[in-house]
Structure 1
Amino acid sequence: MDAPPSSADIRHANALTCIHVFRASEEPLTISDLVQRTGLSRPTIDAVINELEEGGTLTEVPAGSSRANGGRPARRFQFQSLNALVAGIDSGPSNVTVMLADLRGRVVGRASREISGSPTASQRVDTVVSTVRDALADAGTPASKLRAACVAVSGTIGLDGKVAQSYFVPEWNNTDLARHLGNELGCHVFLENDTKLAAYAEHHFGSAQLAGNILYFHIGTRIAFALTIDGKIHQGAHRSAGELASLRGFRWTTNSVKGNLTWTGAESTAAILSMVKRGDSDAHAEWARFVTEIATRIATVSLVFDPDVIVIGGELPASDLSGEFITAVRTEVRRLILLDLKPDVLASTVGAESILRGALALGFHESSRQLFGIEGVPVPDISEVRADNSPTIRQTPAAQTTPLTGRTQKVPSHE
């Protein structure tokens, strides 16, 4: 039998309940409002408010006019969504992109810088720091409000939190990037693999929100995969889960060379897609072979992990051939797997910013105490802020029509 919750557990649960109510309200709330919306007692809410006020998450707003009966107006408290910011940082080989979110999950600042030449690790760090400061300027908030940052890296992260190995950005190898950035930015910084963050974004915001076990494949200029189990990124004993590119001699497909997709009759994946659309027979044959080979690999990995669903993201699923590609892979995967229960294959619905949104989501999850003063505050949805400062909530489409054929591909909606 489970032990009854302690008084500390109860206080923690009460604080989470109040934060949830405050975060959902744009207007100041009174204690009576909170009693009505949470079912908690006034003394309990008083204690929670005092704690949240100390951390700056709540502030008391000036009282309005007196009540009609001449009594004192009720005290009102406002959730301070800009009291702390989270940064999602994608530190790719050729550019750095930053997205800032407030405590409601609203994106309040963005910035991007290109990287040219052969920069040193120190120069790359400087570029990341400068891009974060650009995003803070875009948000119009001081650097002191930045409390946490999750940095996406193309490579493996060691148990010590350093970049263990990166084929695409070798300057990061054995670099204590989190410490350097933390010193420069003055906040909690941690690293994660970019594909794992994209998988994490699919769990929180994408087509597989109701699934705990997701097998995510990134297919575009390169191929990589990651796995979430019970909604958490699967790391393995040495944080090397999913690093098949580190297996000597391994190739995802005939077209995969040293981690990059190459094509016999085209310079890029986009180019061969264009040739397939124009009806080029050689390009179509190479494309068909690629689909068969990658589907075989996906089916093999799927049988190892037995996921609820397979999600494919990257440049290919976002292309004009997305419907044909996903349908062809799904058909081949289901043909190859002889079991009665087979995972579905879905296209990513998070889009091109899946890595950044995954970084923000993990930043909220891992840095709850730095942001709210307590552990375990749920990850918010990530929404855009319009010019009138109201959020634009991202909607997951119920269906997608592919431009090439006009066919409609059903995508689960989890609104």
Structure 2
Amino acid sequence: MERLTGRDPSLLRRINSTVVLRALRAEARGAAPTLTDLVRATELSRPTVEGVVEQLIGAGLVEEAGEEPGGEGGGARRGRPARRFRFRAEAGHLLGIEIGPHRIAAVLADLTGRFTGTVSHEVDEKATADERLERARGTVAELLRRTEVQRSNLRAVGVGTPGIVEADGTVRLGTALPGWTGLPLGERLRRSFRCPVLVENDANAGVLAERWKGAATGSQDVVMVLVGLSPGAGSLIGGRLHRGFGGAAGEIGALHLLGREATPEHLLSTTDEPLHPLDEAAVARVFSLARQGDARARAAMDRFMQRLVHDVAALVLALDPELVVVGGWASGLDDVLEPLRQELERYCLRPPRVALSVLGEAAVATGALRLALDHVENELGLGEQQVSQ
């Protein structure tokens, strides 16, 4: 392995470039800074800053901005006005895609993470893998067409989907979608793009989104549960995503296999027939009937909540998170929040805060976008800023 030292000129150039680029990016929504401003912000020498800025201009990431109107104090200027520079947020775009049982969603952002467009479409839960992927491609094409962004302008694509996802984007196990187990999803999607494509489990994407723009902003240790008949969870430990050795961390939906006889589909059934695992409308009807006082629905909901509490408590006891965020189809149901909070207080040594997802159904696509943004920030040397902005 090549040894880098503090005297390595290429390393010093990368460090200086990162420092200047961060300062410019931090001012992306404010007044365009001058060289003097950048020298003050970076504590680098003026010749160094000037050289880095010229390199960034050559790379298309920075451009010289116009003179600020009015100038300082609004008086007449003497001599040549100071040059000002701005980070070109439009120099590239980032794409986040959700591929789920019932919907395909895509969201587009510039290089600062500012949303510039979104499109979503329903998809049949019985759609084959090829049909679902074609629906995803069509949704992306529609979004790019609406926003007038060229596909070649994309710098990275993030994807969130159910299942255990390996590092190369292959779905090792995905029971929620037909034909998903063993699907080389990353490879299939990379054929449609000229940029990196990063595939992640949907709950993992969701917890990234909630920390970036949702209920977990500012929190370092978070568990997000996507509630469903087979719930899944994404976890942040010290602000970093915890995937586990093979990407299977948080698959709490499998706990019912540990000697329990009733499957989740039977727990929420108000008849002798199990619910379909992907029938969210049927689940919503059970909760609605329970709120209206239906005895069988209330009993079914209580059974399901008790199982959910046990599943979540297992994660809470193992990880000791500051916060548990509830998302998925239950993200808008207070019926889930309060019982879960009360039961976790009974079972856990240090009960965490419990909150509903702020982002709701947008969480997975938003988290997928965050994956793409993280990739580009790391590529540009901006990774330390990440979600805290």
TM-score, reference length from structure 2: 0.83
Counterpart position of 1:400: none
Helix, strand or coil for the counterpart of 1:29?
Answer: coil
Partner residue, 2:329: 315
2:288 aligned partner:
274
What residue number does 2:278 align with? Answer: none
Q: Please list the CA deviations of residues 85-136 of structure 1 after superposition, one character each: whole Å capped at 9, or x if unmatched.
A: 1111001133321000111221112222333485554443333222112111
Q: Quick one: distance in 2 between partners of 1:75 and 1:310?
A: 48
Q: What corresponds to 2:154 in structure 1?
A: 146
Q: What secondary structure is seen at the aligned counterpart in 2 of 1:172?
A: coil
Note the C-alpha offset of 1:183.
2.5
| Structure 2 partner of 1:60 | 64
8 Å CA contact 1:253, 1:294 repeated in 2 = no
Judge which range, 95-104 or 111-120, deviates more.
Answer: 111-120
CA distance in 1, matches of 2:339, 2:225: 15
Question: Closer, same or farther in 2 for the Cα pair 1:76/1:16, shift >3 Å?
Answer: closer
Q: CA deviation at 1:181?
A: 2.0
Contact 2:268-2:303 at 8 Å conserved across structures: no
* Residue of structure 2 equivalent to 1:23: 28
In the other structure, the counterpart of 1:399 is none
When the two structures are aligned, how many residues end up with a matched partner? 370
Residue 20 of structure 1 aligns with an amino acid whose one-letter code is: R
Greater helix content: 2
Instruction: State TM-score, norm by structure 1.
Output: 0.78
Map of 1:391 onto structure 2: none
SS at match of 1:228: strand
Match of 1:178 among 162, 186, 195: 186
1:327 aligns with 2:335: no
Distance 2:92 2:254 in 1: 38
Who is 1:264 aligned against? 270
SS in 2 for 1:342: coil
Deviations 1:261-281 (A, max 9, x none): 742159722112221222223
Question: How far apart are residue 196 of structure 1 and its match?
Answer: 1.0
Structure 1 residues 275 and 94: CA distance shift in structure 2, 3 A: closer
Alpha-carbon distance in structure 2 between the residues aligned to 1:381 and 1:91: 26
Q: CA deviation at 1:200?
A: 1.6
Where do 5+ consecutive residues of structure 2 fail to align? 276-280
Q: Quick check: 1:296 aligned with 2:310?
A: yes
Distance of 1:143 and 1:365 partners within structure 2: 19
Q: What amino acid is aligned across from residue 106 of structure 1 in structure 2?
A: R
Inter-CA distance 140–381: structure 2 relative to 1 (3 Å threshold):
farther
Contact 1:255 1:262 in 2 (8 A): no
Q: Percent identity?
A: 28
Maintained 8 Å contact 1:111/1:138: no
Q: 1:63 to 1:12 in 2, by over 3 A?
A: closer
Q: How does 1:11-410 map to 2 (within 5 A)?
A: 11-25=16-30, 27-61=31-65, 68=76, 71-116=79-124, 119-220=127-228, 222-246=230-254, 249-250=257-258, 254=262, 256-257=264-265, 262-264=268-270, 268-319=282-333, 322=334, 324-337=335-348, 339=349, 341-368=350-377, 373-376=380-383, 378-379=385-386
- 1:4 offset after TM fit, Å? 9.4
Q: CA deviation at 1:188?
A: 1.1
For the 8 Å contact 1:215–1:309, the answer to whether it is kept is yes
Shift in Å at residue 234 of structure 1?
0.9
The alpha-carbon deviation at position 166 of structure 1 amounts to 1.2
After superposition, give the CA deviation of every residue in 1:325-379 in whole Å (9 maximum; x if it has no partner). Answer: 3222111111123x3x332222222322111111111111123255xx4452633
Which deviations, in whole Å up to 9, do the C-alpha atoms of 1:172-210 show, x marking residues without a partner?
333332233222222111100001111122222222223
- Cα 1:251–1:287 change in 2 (3 A) is farther
Q: Distance in 1 between matches of 2:175 and 2:305?
A: 25
Q: Is the CA contact (8 Å cut-off) linking 2:268 and 2:301 kept in structure 1?
A: no
3-state SS of 2:47 partner = helix
The residue number in structure 2 matching 1:393 is none
